[in-house]
Structure 1
Amino acid sequence: MVLPVANPTKSYWIEAAESPLRDFRSTEELPQECDIAIVGSGYAGASTAYWIHKYTESSAKKPQMVMLEARDICGSATGRNGGQLRPHAYSRYLPWKERFGAEGAIELIRHEMAHLSAFKELAEQEGITEEVCLKFGETFDAAMTEEAWTRLRGNYEAMRQDHGEDDEFFKLIKLIEDAAGAEEFSQMKGALAAITHPAGQIWPYKFVHAILRIVLEAGNLNLQAHTPAKSISERDANGWITITTDRGELRARTVIHTTNRWASHLLPEFSKLILGERATLAAIKAPEGFIKHTGAQHWDQSVNNYHLQLPSPYNAVILGGGRQYTVHMPEACFPNDEEDKQVPGIADFFQSWPTSDVADWPTSSLPELARDVDDGGCWTGMETSVIDSFPFVGPVPNREGHWMAAGFAGHGMPRILLSAAHNVPKVLEALKFEQKPPSLVANYPPLLAPFHATPERVERLLRTADVGALAKAYKEKCEMSAVKAFCCDERSKPKI
């Protein structure tokens, strides 16, 4: 069993936010019982609590919730991610089509794209848009090599062929054959061509803290930081599930596991299905408004960077990926849970990005981290690798009263909010709580079949799961990229 490491590297998102909820405990003592225990206080846990609040806010009797967090509030994956609300609008079309057919692929795209309007509506209704730095616009996939362009364009063309240029989502995608003169990419040195589509950006940690504050103010959530769940029971004859912590025991009618990579700590049957993959990011000082668009640079299927710039007064560029560098040390990424350690030398690589990859970076502003390297300037976080690349959402197979939303594989921002919205009413129905769907979820697509945590899916994956083979394939893929020219320049070779 695995719990998050106790002293992870410091993340810019967490340190710069200075949230009063960081180490929050609603009560000095751990409550003895509740209707719903939510394990994990990141994006999935907070979204679950928020939707429980919204579905029952007009009910006479509201479910009492307790949320347990092993670290500080939202101190794990959501407090360490890239900040891009960036659907796969086309770029996974071919592999999704191969697995689920043309209609299945477009349904997955529809689900992810729906998160843009869902975030916009939620933030406007709750009055938190500015607080959480939510912005919308165009994002780009910039092909830095012909190899990357072949892959990106292949997905684009397949989607056009299957669904036509009049498809509502295809019309939002723009192919740019020559990136050199396009405004969207004028800042990216060496981009050959690109594809754009709608996307957003957000301060994920601030979003989670904002919606948790809203639920706390409603009065039926007890939030407990630094309270790791050590073990959990099956539901007993009286309908109680017991969670054991260092601070005592909590009995709950239902438990919702929203711990992403760490789901297998309490659900060991997922230990071969949800795995740890370490990623790394940095925050770089930038002139106000300098980077105009969120985006990603692609060299091959393994090597990429992605970035956004925060608004004033922060102005930092959040830069992730760094795969030109990390492919030289695959063991530093997968399988790996060492969030308490920096990837050696990665901070220097990230600091070289503005002058090596960004045109017209002002010479008066030499690249430097927005905070000291070990105080949030550069950090690591768990991206999570899932054996079949899709999350597990719904009732936990063979565990009465247990539900889950975990394993979002480094792509949770355009998946979790609406997944939780469709999980919650089933939980409330099982507990016989009166509920009313909020207007926010009325027009959004249902939870998709690849996300369901069905017994059949779990059993099938357990029969075929081979973690050793997965790690070997990951290493071989990295080694193939590591010898290519774009990974062999001076700044991309580790100095260790």
Structure 2
Amino acid sequence: MTTTSSPTPVTPAENPTLPFWRTDLHELDEIRTTPELPETSDIVIIGGGYAGVSVAYHLVNSQPQNTPAPSITILEARQICSGATGRNGGHLRPDVYHATFQCMEQHGIEAATELAKFEVSHIPAVRDVIAKESIDCDFHLSRCMNVYLSDENAEKAKEIYDALHANGFPYADNLQYTPQTEAEKVSGVKYAKACISFTAGKLWAYKLVLGLLARIIKEDSVNVQTHTPVISVEADGADHLVHTPRGTIRTSKVVYTTNAYTAGLLPEYATTIVPCRGICCHIAIPETETAPYLEHSYALWNKEGKFDSYLISRPDGSIIVGGASTTFAHAKEQWYNMTDDSTLIEPTKNYWDGYMQRTFNGWEKSEAAVKEIWTGIMGYSYDIHPHIGEVPDKPGQYVCAGFNGHGMPVVFLSGKGIAEMIHTGKKFEEVGLPRVYRTSAERLQAAQEGPEGGSILA
């Protein structure tokens, strides 16, 4: 047998900070379908978050007719959706602007259009599956406001807006550019110099994932095991042996939906997907106070031209806000190659005190205050694109990871693509995924040979 995994796997911290999203837990949060691990399973999915559950959901719902359902086992090191998706900003935000323009410059208009189409398609896909499965997860459509507080960024925003129109980008009509004369009024953000808005959504992502799991757990073919970290994966002929502290499972196919922790089991991804720690909080106002309800969601760039924060409003008027990377980017030891989400980022833990009062008009006397604050570990890809598809030189092993803190408009349909590859044997290029997502030996090599951190530290 040939060992194909790191002897020192990277597993999540055992005592993570508590995010707002995990203050209302689902009954399946710590599910173990059976007391013991199955000895065999046709497919083993490593990771019980948005990606892992999405792959399993599509495997169950795209099962070819008149064929026996494959047995599927999901292994999760902690609780279901306790990683990045259970700690995010609740933002379903297709990036049809910055990322699209960057992709167009690097790979051409066809690749950029492909990427934007895929991300935009997540809004109806997520909306429809929520309706189909009757999942209560506070899903609402909105407009995301990219707000710029510097003249330089405002000018650059207009240049990108014009370039996308000039190149015939098909989603450009969904973009609304607002100049300085109206930007503060339209966005509600103090000192706004310009803003760009586009269709987005907001939701309680933990409840979406648990709702999907509740649907597929009804199938006898699905076995879910929480608190079961994977220690290693071994190739054994045409099969694989998945080792955990609770036993070993023999399987013909392995799917790594391990995001930030991927390199712990696939060491060849160590320079390609790097774990990076982020921080997020929940802000609320006292019942005796009022503030304007924010209909939009936001991404804000500060007066120095640096990205500041992203935020959404909850149905109750409270706010989820994260980011603040300018406060800790200089302290690399606080966030880069970091898998510990049990502590806060020291330079940032007080950043959002008074944030709403100093940022939004009408919030000055709201007494808005941080109620919960937490950290989470994201998987940052060297070239900013996730890695989807069959692991190079490892037949029967698939990866769906490296979402750069931008997984909500990427993961669900990537899971569908992986499921189709497994069910039908189709190649990556045949399942409708953006070309820039394809994991490959060339992308791994580029990360190994390039400067440390790649675009992460750029």
TM-score under structure 1 normalisation?
0.84
> Partners of 2:198 and 2:351 in 1: how far apart?
28
Q: Is the 8 A contact 1:110 1:445 kept in 2?
A: no
Q: Is the 8 A contact 2:328 2:347 kept in 1?
A: no
Amino acid at match of 1:3: T
2:207 paired residue number = 206
Q: Is the 8 A contact 2:42 2:70 kept in 1?
A: yes
Q: How does 1:297-446 map to 2 (within 5 A)?
A: 297-299=300-302, 302-312=306-316, 315-344=317-346, 346-361=348-363, 363=365, 365-370=366-371, 377-430=372-425, 446=432
Greater alpha carbon shift after TM alignment, 320-329 vs 446-455: 320-329
Structure with higher strand content:
2
- Indicate the SS of the match to 1:30: coil
TM-fit CA distance, 1:470: 4.5
Tell whether 2:127 aligns with 1:103.
no
2:70 paired residue number = 63
2:435 paired residue number = 449
- Indicate the SS of the match to 1:232: strand
1:49 paired residue number = 56
TM-fit CA distance, 1:218: 2.5
Listed as ranges, the gaps of 5+ residues in structure 1 are 371-376, 432-443, 478-496
> Partners of 1:75 and 1:81 in 2: how far apart?
10
TM-fit CA distance, 1:59: 4.3
Q: Is the 8 A contact 1:83 1:203 kept in 2?
A: yes
Tell whether 2:116 aligns with 1:115.
no
> Partners of 1:289 and 1:49 in 2: how far apart?
41
2:231 paired residue number = 230
> Partners of 2:67 and 2:338 in 1: how far apart?
47
Q: Is the 8 A contact 2:324 2:348 kept in 1?
A: yes
Q: Is the 8 A contact 2:47 2:77 kept in 1?
A: yes
Q: Is the 8 A contact 1:322 1:349 kept in 2?
A: yes
Amino acid at match of 1:282: C
Q: How does 1:45-194 map to 2 (within 5 A)?
A: 45-56=52-63, 58-128=65-135, 131-163=136-168, 168-178=170-180, 180=182, 184-186=186-188, 188-194=189-195
Tell whether 2:10 aligns with 1:9.
no
Q: How does 1:460-471 map to 2 (within 5 A)?
A: 460-462=446-448, 464-467=449-452, 470=454
1:196 paired residue number = 197
TM-fit CA distance, 1:144: 1.0
Q: Is the 8 A contact 2:292 2:363 kept in 1?
A: no
Q: Are the structure 2 counterparts of residues 36 and 190 from structure 1 closer, same or farther at C-alpha, using a change threshold of 3 Å?
A: same
Q: Are the structure 2 counterparts of residues 406 and 28 from structure 1 closer, same or farther at C-alpha, using a change threshold of 3 Å?
A: same
Q: Is the 8 A contact 2:420 2:431 kept in 1?
A: no
- Indicate the SS of the match to 1:21: coil
Q: Is the 8 A contact 1:111 1:445 kept in 2?
A: no
> Partners of 1:153 and 1:423 in 2: how far apart?
37
TM-fit CA distance, 1:181: 6.2
Q: Deviations over 1:84-138 (max 9, x none)?
A: 100111222332122101222122111111111111121122222xx11111121
- Indicate the SS of the match to 1:348: coil
TM-fit CA distance, 1:7: 1.6
TM-fit CA distance, 1:148: 1.9
Q: Is the 8 A contact 1:114 1:445 kept in 2?
A: no
- Indicate the SS of the match to 2:156: helix
TM-fit CA distance, 1:9: 1.2
Q: Is the 8 A contact 1:289 1:311 kept in 2?
A: no
Q: Are the structure 2 counterparts of residues 303 and 47 from structure 1 closer, same or farther at C-alpha, using a change threshold of 3 Å?
A: same
TM-fit CA distance, 1:182: 6.2
Q: How does 1:245-256 map to 2 (within 5 A)?
A: 245-256=244-255
TM-fit CA distance, 1:413: 0.8
Q: Are the structure 2 counterparts of residues 289 and 223 from structure 1 closer, same or farther at C-alpha, using a change threshold of 3 Å?
A: farther
TM-fit CA distance, 1:257: 0.5
TM-fit CA distance, 1:449: 1.2
Q: Is the 8 A contact 2:148 2:305 kept in 1?
A: no
Give the aligned length.
442
- Indicate the SS of the match to 2:350: helix
Q: Are the structure 2 counterparts of residues 35 and 348 from structure 1 closer, same or farther at C-alpha, using a change threshold of 3 Å?
A: same
> Partners of 1:465 and 1:25 in 2: how far apart?
42
> Partners of 1:24 and 1:353 in 2: how far apart?
38
Q: Is the 8 A contact 1:140 1:184 kept in 2?
A: no
> Partners of 2:110 and 2:295 in 1: how far apart?
34
- Indicate the SS of the match to 1:410: coil
> Partners of 1:317 and 1:416 in 2: how far apart?
24
Q: Is the 8 A contact 1:310 1:317 kept in 2?
A: yes
> Partners of 1:209 and 1:449 in 2: how far apart?
30
Amino acid at match of 2:94: P
Q: Deviations over 1:299-325 (max 9, x none)?
A: 25643211101113xx43100112342
Amino acid at match of 2:280: L
Q: Are the structure 2 counterparts of residues 190 and 153 from structure 1 closer, same or farther at C-alpha, using a change threshold of 3 Å?
A: same
> Partners of 1:283 and 1:384 in 2: how far apart?
22
TM-fit CA distance, 1:244: 0.8
Q: What's the RMSD between the two structures over aligned residues?
A: 2.2
Q: Deviations over 1:318-367 (max 9, x none)?
A: 0011234224534322233231111125342212201111111162x412
TM-score under structure 2 normalisation?
0.91
2:4 paired residue number = none
Tell whether 2:228 aligns with 1:221.
no
Q: Is the 8 A contact 1:272 1:466 kept in 2?
A: no
Greater alpha carbon shift after TM alignment, 84-93 vs 201-210: 84-93
> Partners of 2:61 and 2:312 in 1: how far apart?
31
Residue of 9, 29, 41 corresponding to 1:22: 29
